[in-house]
A and B are shown apart, each in its own frame.
Chain A
Amino acid sequence: MAHEHKLEIFRGLIKFKSNNTKIWGIFTFLSIITIVEVAFGIVKPELLVDNSFLAMKLLNWVFIILTLVKAYYITWDFMHMRDEVKSLRRAVVWTTIFLLCYLVMILLIEGDYIYEVYKSGFVKFDF
């Protein structure tokens, strides 16, 4: 069943010889991402802090995208999602991502609205 593993990552760019080397390869990759994240968090390059895209600093975009990359490889290779059938993969991943995006969108818009109400102070109670 799960004994045969798919050993290609990066869409076939790297193919490992065994599952064991693949695990170490993924670990190296995840470590590099974490180091980059921490370095960015400490240095905070001006270029990324001062510019923003869609109302969010570029630096935060970098952090969130790197986090999603990390999450992808943890799920796909450590949790063996890569070796499961497509239907299981989609049932788990799409459901979660859909609900998560929905929840985050609602709560962040609402939070921002309350911030504006506090700031301008024109509406006293009706919000």
Chain B
Amino acid sequence: MDTTVVKTGAEEKTWDGGNKPLRASYGKMMMWFFIVSDALTFSGFLASYGFSRFKFVDAWPIADQVFTHFPFLHGVDAPMYYVAFMTFVLIFSSVTMVLAVDAGHKMEQKKVIFYMFLTIIGGLIFVGSQAWEWATFIKGDYGAVETKGGKIVQFLDTEGERVAIRDFALHIPTERIEHEKKNGLWFQSEPDTVTSFSFEEVKAGFLANEDLLVRIQYKDENGHPIVLSREASIAKIVNDGKLVVEGANLRHNEYGTPLFADFFFFITGFHGFHVFSGVVINIIIFFNVVIGTYQRRGSYEMVEKVGLYWHFVDLVWVFVFTFFYLV
């Protein structure tokens, strides 16, 4: 470095750059700048989530009726256990990161390597879990009917247990004619996803099965979605039903308002992207540690800086976890 940087001989004087503002190095200060701005971005997202939720506060999906799955446990109702697991993974990877920083202060290269490796593994497990969570959410499980007004109607039996549409929908043999530009409206195209049952099949199955009731999106005063009587259920499906929804995408969501799915994809997606980039940055720094760059430089401050970013990602998840899954 001495050969490339011109020294003025005044580095130690306050007005010549010899002073560190707030006693933090340039790099750490800039990382704090970035973290503050990124924190504001995330709070913008979470606040707008709150805005939309307050707008439809009596019809918003309840998170522990949505995220009830755990890998390899099919059909087991396990609300929130998997998200709790993900939270632990992230907190633990934060711990290994701060241990790496601590080992860096003591110039123990071997320990830094080991702890950074664990951090990277934790980050990968978290991103993988998030991918699984997305896949489960997109696939859906019970299916529902969307009304003409865009509200979601779900099916229950008389005991109040959810019933999947594939369990009662009748098979009505019909030929599905594919939409083509030449024989229809040229600006309309085939729907992106075709559900496994048509609305007519679900309706026929529902009418034939005396034990089925529907649950609407609106909640009673105790916060439980209202279940209609058999007559009201039939009236709801026959008069208002329009299409079958399986799983969730940006336009339809079998668990409730599409906005819930939109915010879920957007906020957890943005957070997952942060975790992903954090893992990439960690890997770069990890290899720098392995080849001994910081040992030769005599300072592991670079590890400390990526550590700040990594903890920030954990910090954001704490808030996402609360406002998406708990509250």
Contact = CB atoms under 8 A, between A and B. Distances in A.
Whether A and B are associated in the same complex: the answer reads yes
Interface of A: 1-3, 19-20, 23-24, 26-27, 30-31, 34-35, 37-38, 40-42, 49, 60, 63-64, 67, 70-71, 74-75, 77-80, 84-85, 87-88, 91-92, 95-96, 99-100, 103-104, 107-108, 110-112, 114-115, 118-119
Contacts of A108: 47, 50-51, 54
Given A31-B88, A107-B47, 16 more contacts: A1-B23, A23-B102, A30-B91, A74-B315, A74-B318, A78-B98, A79-B315, A80-B101, A87-B22, A100-B39, A103-B47, A108-B54, A111-B51, A111-B54, A112-B54, A118-B55
B326 interface: yes
Interface in B288-327: 304, 307-308, 311-312, 314-315, 318-319, 321-322, 325-327
Interface residues of B, number: 55
Identify the 10 closest CB pairs spanning chains A and B, nearest first.
A111-B54, A88-B22, A107-B51, A111-B51, A67-B322, A38-B84, A78-B311, A63-B326, A107-B47, A27-B95
B223 interface: yes
B43 A100 contact: yes
Interface of B: 22-25, 29, 32, 35-36, 39-40, 43-44, 47-48, 50-58, 64, 79-81, 84, 87-88, 91-92, 94-95, 97-99, 101-102, 105, 223, 304, 307-308, 311-312, 314-315, 318-319, 321-322, 325-327
B318 A95 contact: no
A79 B312 contact: yes
B40 to A, nearest CB: 6
B214 to A, nearest CB: 22
Contacts of A111: 50-55, 57
B47 A104 contact: yes
Given A104-B47, A107-B51, A118-B55, A34 B87 contact: yes
A88 B24 contact: yes
B99 A23 contact: yes
A38 B223 contact: no
Given A2-B304, A96-B40, A118-B55, A67 B319 contact: yes
A42 B80 contact: yes
B104 to A, nearest CB: 10
Nearest to B63: A41
A71 B313 CA distance: 11
A71 to B, nearest CB: 6
10 contacts: A19-B102, A31-B91, A41-B80, A64-B322, A64-B327, A67-B321, A71-B318, A107-B50, A111-B51, A115-B57
